[in-house]
Structure 1
Amino acid sequence: MDESATKRILLLGKTGVGKSSLANTIFGDATFQINHPSGSKSHPSQAETRSVNGRGITLIDTPGFFDVGRSEEEMKPEIVRCMTECAPGPHALLVVLKVEKFTEQERAVISKIIESFSEDVLKYAAVVFTHGDQLSEGMKIEEYVGQSEGLSELVMKCGGRCHVVDNKYWKTDNEDDDYRSNRFQVAELINTVDEIVTQNDGGHYANEMLQEVERAIQEEEKRLVKSSGNASQDVIRKQAKNNVFKSRTEKSPRKWIKGLFGFAVIAAILAAVAVMLLKLKDGEVITEATVDEETITAPIIKVIEEVTEEVSEVSPSISTIVEVVEDIIQPIVEIPEIIEDYLDKSSDLFEKTFDPWNNFE
């Protein structure tokens, strides 16, 4: 199947709303795992491609990214997996909810979705309700939505797009009521995806992270083409995604430093190095003895610890930061000539900009 013509659809929602079952309903088979291992909080991201009503569709089923109590560290590998699977970006997002009372918990999930992506993401979204058997007899989903101010606001932000399925009771066609038929609802949903793509000029949703991941995948594809022989583009693309995922998760502290630490921490590291270099005594010979942990690592870590207290909500543990700093420092310790070069340049800059009336020393 031509991946360039395939529409990528991302399913989002808290654990237990029926995302995996909805994916199976759309595909018409049991492709996605429903009964997850006992005791597990969620399931790993899964992406599968099928032809649905003549369209190539890739569904990306996600774990409960927005569940209460899930730590960023716990979810990081799955977020990376999700980003690589839907790169360069989803053509449509399905916000999955149950036909039940729209509580503060559901509001919080929607807020987290917008916070994690952007307000613009709703231009590419539709709301899909599961457990359609809970609708009152003869009621359509639009009428149900109209009974809730919160749901009405959400659906309005999604361009008025909403659908309903029932993964348990609507598996067979209902001769007396076409509306309560998954076949009918899936056909309508696929039409809605077509409309979303058309309204967005054939494009897909993208943010900075997705763009960065796509660049990494394309670079990996170029590398694989040289050594893959006669492998198809689809096979190369799949392998490239897997390689990028492994690289991002195995080396995440280094590869994702900007996203995890924030610019404040990076600036602190650079500032600490600059101050340390300028404060080295004039004329001191740079050797391995002087370029040690006490001289370099300790003052940098001290600054990092101070800054991390202010950005603790978005920063990993101090131990993770220390590991990254050690990775940065080690090459400098091994090659002291680099420090000497930086010192010479810093000394020249100091002499040119020295102001005797300034208290800086």
Structure 2
Amino acid sequence: MASVKGKPRRRLSSDIPPNMSRETPLRMLVFGNCDQVSLTQSVLGQDVFTGDEVNISATKKSSGFVQERNITLVNTPNLQNNDLPDSILHKEFRKAVCFSCPGPHAMVFVVDPFHLTSDTMDILKPMVHYFGERVLKHTLIVLYHERGMKTLSIEDVVKKNKSFRELAEKCSQNYIFYNEEINRTESSQTKTLLDKVDEMVSEHGMFSNMEFKDAEKRIQIEERFIRKSKEKEIRGTLKALENQHSGEALASEILKYEEKIQLECREKAELVVADKLGFTVRVVDYAVAMGKGAFVGAFLGFAVGYEGMAVGAAVGAGLGAVFGGAANAAWSYIYKSFTDAH
């Protein structure tokens, strides 16, 4: 897991996982401690946070072009130093879902290699609680530091740490060391990070679940509404470009404008849906609390009125006794129920 030594080689198209293309933005959802801000800025090679945002308390999306790749890093609130209520934390997680749709290629867990304790594992718990145990195989532990020490000597110390061994086992031994001091001069640490994420994507694909899929559908619908509302503005701008340019220059300007509009519509749609998203999450909680069968019956009954809810719940409860109830299965029941009722 040591960092790559020497001058980093040029990234080749063959390095990209077969289920991705060079045009596909590499999406990473970053969480952990205050070092997640430093890691984000190191990877992107630019200051995307202000001094007041070091102890990040709100989800933020940052993008850049790094080593011939489009990279998007979505930072959740600092889970180590922010004691946020569950309602606020879940709202920020929903924003992170929208900002990383249709799903992150990796969950990047930033930790301090010199302060690994049992509390380090606690930072991971809110993510697992919200996204489920399956998220662990998509989680990459990044041991970030800015000290002028050889990576191998740090590895020797860290590997003897019981808390780290337990954490690494949870995350399928997916971890790297990231030395910011080295990265400032040769960017080899960023390359190691991207290579490791590509390796994980080749093995497991990107992370997704029903919430990501639901959010992506909503975002695409919202994008179309936003673009439609901009039709007059778009026509005016295109006409102005046609008056100012011609030939290849015109084609180039139109392409740049189209990319700009597409990005603006996407980002606005993500924000709109992030504020609305959460219905699916809440109904799953209700389904588990009521019992899957009773909930589905009530949910379907809602389509025909209050009495239908009562009858549906009673019938559904009987079905629930036969089929059993579980949080994971609730997703498919709710999604199908919502579709049928609609």
TM-score by length of 2: 0.64
In 2, Cα distance between equivalents of 1:276 and 1:153: 47
Native 8 Å contact 2:183 2:189 kept in 1: no
Q: Which has the larger radius of gyration?
A: 1
Distance 2:151 2:229 in 1: 60
| 2:86 paired with 1:72 | yes
> Comparing both chains, which one has the higher relative contact order based on Cα–Cα distances under 8 Å and sequence gaps of 6 or more?
2
* Matched residue, 1:22: 39
Using the TM superposition, name which of 206-215 and 90-99 deviates more: 206-215
Q: Report the Cα offset of residue 172 of structure 1.
A: 4.0
Distance (whole Å) between structure 2 residues aligned to residue 277 and residue 159 of structure 1:
46
Query: CA 1:122–1:73 in 2, change beyond 3 Å: closer, same or farther?
Result: closer
Do the aligned partners of 1:99 and 1:134 also contact (CA within 8 Å) in 2? no
Unpaired segments ≥5 residues, structure 1: 174-180, 279-361
2:159 is the counterpart of 1:146: yes
Which of residues 190, 197, 211 is equivalent to 2:194? Answer: 190
Q: Among residues 35, 47, 58, which one is paired with 1:44 in the alignment?
A: 58
Structure 2: distance between partners of 1:194 and 1:276: 48
Q: CA deviation at 1:65?
A: 4.3
Report the counterpart of residue 12 of structure 1 in structure 2. 31
Q: Distance in 1 between matches of 2:208 and 2:136?
A: 12
Q: What is the Cα deviation at residue 52 of structure 1?
A: 0.9
Asked if 1:264 corresponds to 2:289, the answer is yes
CA drift of 1:153 comes to 3.5
Partner of 2:268: 239
C-alpha distance in structure 2 between counterparts of 1:126 and 1:256, whole Å:
25
Q: Determine the C-alpha separation between the residues in 2 that align with 1:211 and 1:141.
A: 40
Residue aligning to 2:15: none
- Secondary structure of the residue aligned to 1:133 is coil
- 1:206 lines up with 2:232 in the alignment: no
Matched-pair contact (CA < 8 Å) for 2:107–2:138: yes
Query: Against the structure 1 CA distance between its residues 206 and 277, is the aligned structure 2 distance closer, same or farther, given a 3 Å change threshold?
Result: closer
- Secondary structure, in 3 states, of the residue corresponding to 1:165? strand
TM-superposed deviation, 1:225:
3.9
Partner Cα distance (1:75, 1:172) in 2? 33
Amino acid at match of 1:163: I
Asked if 2 retains the 8 angstrom alpha-carbon contact of 1:10 and 1:86, the reply is: yes
Q: Is the 8 A contact 1:114 1:121 kept in 2?
A: yes
Q: Select between 229-238 and 42-51 the one with higher mean Cα deviation.
A: 229-238
Equivalence for 2:255: none
Shift in alpha-carbon separation, 1:27–1:134, aligned structure 2, 3 A? same
**Would you tell me which structure has more helix in proportion to its own residues?**
2
Letter in 2 for 1:125: T
TM-score normalised by L of structure 1: 0.61
**Aligned residue in 2 for 1:290:** none
Deviates more, 1:144-153 or 1:46-55: 144-153
Number of corresponding residues: 256
- State percent identity of aligned pairs: 23
The alpha carbon displacement at 1:246 in A equals 3.2
Identify if the C-alpha distance between structure 1 residues 141 and 120 changes in structure 2 by more than 3 Å, giving closer, same or farther. Answer: farther
Select the residue among 157, 164, 174 that pairs with 1:161. Answer: 174
In the alignment, the residues of structure 2 paired with residue 247 and residue 275 of structure 1 have an alpha-carbon distance, to the nearest angstrom, of 27
